[in-house]
Amino acid sequence: MKSLIVANWKCNPATLKDGQGIFREIKGKMGLVKSEVVICPPFVYLPVIGKGLVLGAQDAFWEKAGAYTGEISPAMLRDMGCRYVIVGHSERRRVFRETDEMANKKVRAALAEKINPILCIDRLSQLKAGIKGLNSKDLKSLIVAFEPLSAIGTGRPYPAGKAQKMYWGIRKIIGKDARILYGGSVNSGNASSYVKEAGFQGLLVGGASLKPREFIGIIKEIS
């Protein structure tokens, strides 16, 4: 199976022009890369960021439509061509007080629209709560991202050996089908330790995904 590399641009860059520049540069340097690469830009850039790379969103609401000012539904994301959506990112949990229950509703809403949810967790209790109500078919479309809090955006990557222990804890709960990614201060120097040594099926990359050369370096390391 191809590795999956997801770029989480968060609330960056400040202009569409800069976003399109990063997108073009990544696309231009992809060459014969064998990994599946997903770009998750801010919502407003989704329909106009560019063509030729798979798109994902950084969040989604759980309702299809209605009186929910400011929210974006999975159905809308699907209409914009998104195939993946990040759910329960630690920044959503910390800054916006999102709970396990909300993450679970978002996972289920994404699956109902045939969008692959990328459920972010830093402990197994979040995983168990996030997958409540899912059946074995749902688990085939689920992606779990292990993102230890101490490593996200800090420049302090989690030791690959410790991440591997968590990998097996996750695998035991979700079974053999769902893909498991590592995220947290990934760069071109440490990427392969998570995929080739610890056995993750891919990576969720924040800061480094906004630097095309570094991002391509990561992709090439694990391809």
Q: Is residue 186 a contact residue for ligand PEP (CB under 6 A)?
A: yes
Q: Could you give the angle at which helices 212-222 and 16-28 cross, rounded to 10 degrees?
A: 30
Query: Closest separation between CB of residue 133 and ligand PEP, Å?
Result: 25
Q: Is residue 206 a contact residue for ligand PEP (CB under 6 A)?
A: yes
Would you call 147 a catalytic residue per the annotation? yes
Would you call 221 a catalytic residue per the annotation? no
DSSP-based three-state secondary structure for 144 = strand
> Residue 191 has which token pair?
């990427």
Query: Closest separation between CB of residue 185 and ligand PEP, Å?
Result: 4
Q: Considering 91, 98, 113, 147, which one is annotated as catalytic?
A: 147
CA 86/CA 6 separation, integer angstroms = 9
Q: Quick count: other Cβ atoms within 10 Å of Cβ 179?
A: 21
Q: Is residue 183 a contact residue for ligand PEP (CB under 6 A)?
A: yes
**Interface mask toward ligand PEP for 46-65; x: CB under 6 A:** --------------------
Q: Considering 89, 91, 113, 221, which one is annotated as catalytic?
A: 89
Q: Which residue from 122, 147, 214, 221 is in contact with ligand PEP, where contact means CB under 6 A?
A: 147
**What does the DSSP assignment read for 155-189?**
S-PPPHHHHHHHHHHHHHHH-SSSEEEEESS--TT
Cis bond upstream, residue 13 (ω within 30): yes
Closer Cβ to ligand PEP, 112 or 150, answer by number: 150
Q: Which residue has the tokens 């969040």?
A: 59
Residue ranges binding ligand PEP (CB under 6 A): 8, 147, 152-153, 183-186, 204-208
Residues with catalytic roles: 89, 147
